[in-house]
Amino acid sequence: MLYSQKVMDHFSNPRNVGEITDADGVGEVGNPRCGDIMKMYLKINDAGIIEDVKFKTFGCGAAVATSSIATELIKGKSIDDALKLTNQAVVEALDGLPPVKLHCSVLAEQAVKSALADYYRRKGIDPEPIVGKIEDCEACALHPQG
Amino acid sequence: MSRFIYADNAATTAVSQPVLDAMLPYFAEHYGNPSSIYSIGRDAHTAVDTAREQTAAALGALPEEIYFTSGGSEADNWAIRGAALANRKKGRHIISSVFEHHAVLHTLKALEKEGWEVTYLKVYENGIVRPDDLRAAIRPDTVLVTIMYANNEIGTIQPIPELAGICHEKGVLFHTDAVQAIGHVAINVKEQGIDMLSLSAHKFHGPKGTGALYIKKGLRIPNLIEGGAQERGHRAGTENVAGIVGLGRAIEIACKDITARDEKVKLLRDALIDNLLKIKRVRLNGDRLQRLAGNVNVSVEGIEGESLLLMLDMKGVCASSGSACTSGSLDPSHVLLAIGLPHEVAHGSLRLTLGEENTMADVNYICEVLPSIIDRLRSMSPVWEKIEAQA
């Protein structure tokens, strides 16, 4: 299996690793059974701009790289722009992923959405009409928790 | 200067110089077909005969009991499917273990679909089959027991002579996949009561794509590969002469001085295990003593195996893992699950398999780079965060 240079770069020097203690939204997706968990922290200002983003990931090289690139793609962007982030955009930004690792890009998209959903929930707004329903990724659906 | 440490000898080994020297003339010089009547054909035929004698001698078998194959997987497929078909009128029950290699497990799964019934013995936390479990599992319709000699992931050595003895008391055939054991455990098929044994050259400094099946004299199983009359009509296909020559030379070397070589490798293994166990929340997988001389398999809680391998690779260390990401499936290793590891811990496994070429300096280097890699991955792991919070 071969990772692109971009994937290896983001794996070896992941951007925005860590936590935000006073985050406005925190999302966690994946499950330890299938071997990937991503946790994303967002700091969002009153204008709805993502001022800061951090992540923590338990997973393979692709999981780390997709989390890292996703944080880069949404940092400084508006919520609306972040909501438009797709897993394909994550894959393209990394110059591709091996087919067996595509689910990691889905997880990265979901981590962003899950953190945004949490942001709305904290504001007392039902996130589902805005963020959509966050489905289990294909890989995780095969491994129900427990 | 960047270092390169090969610590994945259970995956494959380098072809050694004497083996390579033995093989080279059979590519472009003595390239004849062993079935041909002229001199270079006869040369090739003689070379295959010599390799057969070397292989037989290493196993305590007769040359006519050795059949060369394309590798360990073919030998496993042939032995199991062959024994099942040969005995289908007697019964359709086979016994194996839960942590066999996939060459065995997938052959058994295929037979299950074709009407055979298979009992998979447990291996417990230490990764060893219990003879009493085998005794209890044998039924009047049991025709074959197949248990690996040593496990490929956790290196645990199975009580093969005892298991074979139980089979013979009950008149059941006994096959063992000895792919990982050759050259590390003294094997004598006659003394140990083994009816069939699979081996693969590239695990003991021979070439890839060459293996053998030992079939006890008098035992008849149908062919897996039909065609020409090679291997006395039992395994068709023009012989991989250079490969077979390499296998013969490699097994001859591998089965000589096993004890002395193992003692040296064990020192390295034990130093590595002792050091790794000093790291917080690292556990050894498989029995500490009844394991192959070079096998180290640990689980590192809070991190995922593939990330660990990528970082070790950046430091020049070749290792492997039982994580899903490295198995090419969504599930972590069936071996680690079989010894009772939870999925998340199985994902964080690391296998380092040392050989005689490794040195204490290699072990020291691994022990030097690994803790900081583990710290780094843990510092970015939400799973580790939870483990720490619970502690």
pLDDT per position as a tens digit, B158-211: 999 999 999 999 999 999 999 999 999 999 999 999 999 999 999 999 999 999
Query: Is a pLDDT exceeding 80 seen at residue A142?
Result: no
Query: Is a pLDDT exceeding 80 seen at residue B326?
Result: no
Q: Which of B218-222, B243-247, B332-336, B363-367 has the lowest mean pLDDT?
A: B332-336
Tell me which chain A residues have a C-beta less than 8 angstroms from the C-beta of B324. Answer: 34-35
Cβ of B343 within 8 Å of Cβ of A11? The answer is no
Which sequence spans correspond to the domains of chain A? Answer: 5-142
Q: Which of B347, B377, B378 to mutate to test the interface with A (most CBs of A within 10 A)?
A: B347
Tell me which chain A residues have a C-beta less than 8 angstroms from the C-beta of B328. Answer: 100
CA distance A28 to chain B (A): 9
Q: Which of B301, B310, B329, B373 to mutate to test the interface with A (most CBs of A within 10 A)?
A: B310
Mean pLDDT of B122-139: 98
Distance from C-alpha of B154 to C-alpha of B322, rounded to nearest angstrom: 10
Cβ of A143 within 8 Å of Cβ of B343? The answer is yes
CATH topology of domain A5-142: Sufe protein. Chain: A (3.90.1010)
Terminal C-alpha separation, chain A:
30
With residue B57 as reference, give the H or E element that holds it: helix B39-59
Angle B231-B235-B238 from CA coordinates, rounded to 5° = 75
Of A34, A64, A142, the CB nearest to B307: A64
Report the pLDDT value the prediction gives residue B325, as an integer from 0 to 100: 64
Of B302, B324, B382, the CB nearest to A35: B324
Report the pLDDT value the prediction gives residue B171, as an integer from 0 to 100: 96
Angle B166-B73-B139 from CA coordinates, rounded to 5° = 25
Q: Residue count of chain A, please give it.
A: 146
CA distance B388 to chain A (A): 14
Q: Which residues pair with A52 in a beta bridge?
A: A43
Task: Give the other-Cβ count within 10 Å of B276's Cβ.
Answer: 21
Kindly report the average pLDDT of chain B as a whole number. Answer: 96
Distance from C-alpha of B147 to C-alpha of B80, rounded to nearest angstrom: 11
Helix (H, G, I), strand (E, B) or coil at B167: helix
Q: Which parts of B248-316 are beta strand (E)?
A: 282-284, 295-300
Report the pLDDT value the prediction gives residue A134, as an integer from 0 to 100: 79
pLDDT in tens, A8-53: 999 999 999 999 999 999 999 998 777 899 999 999 999 999 999 9
Angle B186-B296-B18 from CA coordinates, rounded to 5° = 50
Distance from C-alpha of B62 to C-alpha of B53, rounded to nearest angstrom: 8
Task: Give the other-Cβ count within 10 Å of B299's Cβ.
Answer: 24
Mean pLDDT of B366-385: 96
Q: How far is CA B336 from the centre of its chain?
A: 16
- Tell me the H-state helices in B87-240: 102-113, 131-137, 160-169, 230-233
DSSP-assigned letter for residue A85: -
The interface predicted TM-score (ipTM) is 0.91
**Contact of B317 with B366, CB cutoff 8 Å:** yes
Q: Which of A8-17, B226-235, B326-335 has the lowest mean pLDDT?
A: B326-335
Report the pLDDT value the prediction gives residue A136, as an integer from 0 to 100: 64
**Contact of B86 with B221, CB cutoff 8 Å:** yes
Cα distances (Å, whole numbers) of residue B44 to A54, B66, B108, B210, B228? 65, 17, 36, 16, 17
Catalytically annotated residues of A: 34, 104
Tell me which chain A residues have a C-beta less than 8 angstroms from the C-beta of B311. Answer: 12
Report the pLDDT value the prediction gives residue B327, as an integer from 0 to 100: 58
Of A8, A18, A34, the CB nearest to B324: A34
Report the pLDDT value the prediction gives residue A132, as an integer from 0 to 100: 87
Helix (H, G, I), strand (E, B) or coil at B5: strand
Cβ of B383 within 8 Å of Cβ of A37? The answer is yes
Active site residue B325: yes
Report the pLDDT value the prediction gives residue B197, as an integer from 0 to 100: 98
Q: Which residue of B has its CA nearest to A7?
A: B310
| pLDDT-based confidence at residue B75 (cuts at 50, 70, 90) | very high
| pLDDT-based confidence at residue A144 (cuts at 50, 70, 90) | very low
| pLDDT-based confidence at residue B296 (cuts at 50, 70, 90) | very high
Q: Which residues pair with B351 in a beta bridge?
A: B297, B320
Q: Which residues pair with A122 in a beta bridge?
A: none
Q: At what angle do helices A102-122 and A61-74 cross, to 10 degrees?
A: 50
Cα distances (Å, whole numbers) of residue B79 to B107, B158, B217? 10, 19, 14
CA-based torsion, A84, A89, A90, A93: positive or negative: negative
DSSP-assigned letter for residue B201: G
Cβ of A11 within 8 Å of Cβ of B307? The answer is yes
Q: Which of A19, A58, A64, A145 to mutate to test the interface with B (most CBs of B within 10 A)?
A: A58
Task: Give the other-Cβ count within 10 Å of B256's Cβ.
Answer: 11
Q: What is the DSSP string of B303-343?
A: S-HHHHHHHHHHTTEE-B--SHHHHTSSS--HHHHHTT--H
Cβ of A64 within 8 Å of Cβ of B347? The answer is no
Q: In sequence order, which residues have a C-beta less than 8 Å from that of residue B313 and are 6 or more positions away?
A: none
Beta strand pairing status for B282-284 and B93-97? unpaired
Helix (H, G, I), strand (E, B) or coil at A53: strand
Mean pLDDT of A125-134: 89
**Contact of A102 with A45, CB cutoff 8 Å:** no
Q: What is the DSSP string of A27-39?
A: EEEEETTTTEEEE
pLDDT in tens, B249-269: 999 999 999 999 999 999 999
| pLDDT-based confidence at residue A146 (cuts at 50, 70, 90) | very low
Distance from C-alpha of B247 to C-alpha of B23, rounded to nearest angstrom: 9
pLDDT in tens, A97-122: 998 899 899 999 999 999 999 999 99
Query: Is a pLDDT exceeding 60 seen at residue B289?
Result: yes
Report the pLDDT value the prediction gives residue B47, as an integer from 0 to 100: 98
| pLDDT-based confidence at residue B8 (cuts at 50, 70, 90) | very high
Q: Which two tokens stand for residue A106?
A: 């889905």
Of A12, A34, A56, the CB nearest to B330: A34
Cβ of B304 within 8 Å of Cβ of A63? The answer is yes
Report the pLDDT value the prediction gives residue A2, as an integer from 0 to 100: 87
| pLDDT-based confidence at residue A145 (cuts at 50, 70, 90) | very low
Distance from C-alpha of B302 to C-alpha of B275, rounded to nearest angstrom: 19
Query: Is a pLDDT exceeding 90 seen at residue B329?
Result: no
Phi and psi at residue B213, to the nearest 5°: -120, 125
Cβ of A142 within 8 Å of Cβ of B344? The answer is no
**Contact of B51 with B117, CB cutoff 8 Å:** no
CA distance A34 to chain B (A): 6
Of A35, A55, A101, the CB nearest to B304: A35
Q: Which residues pair with B339 in a beta bridge?
A: none
| pLDDT-based confidence at residue B275 (cuts at 50, 70, 90) | very high
Cα distances (Å, whole numbers) of residue A118 to A42, B103, B291, B334? 10, 47, 49, 37
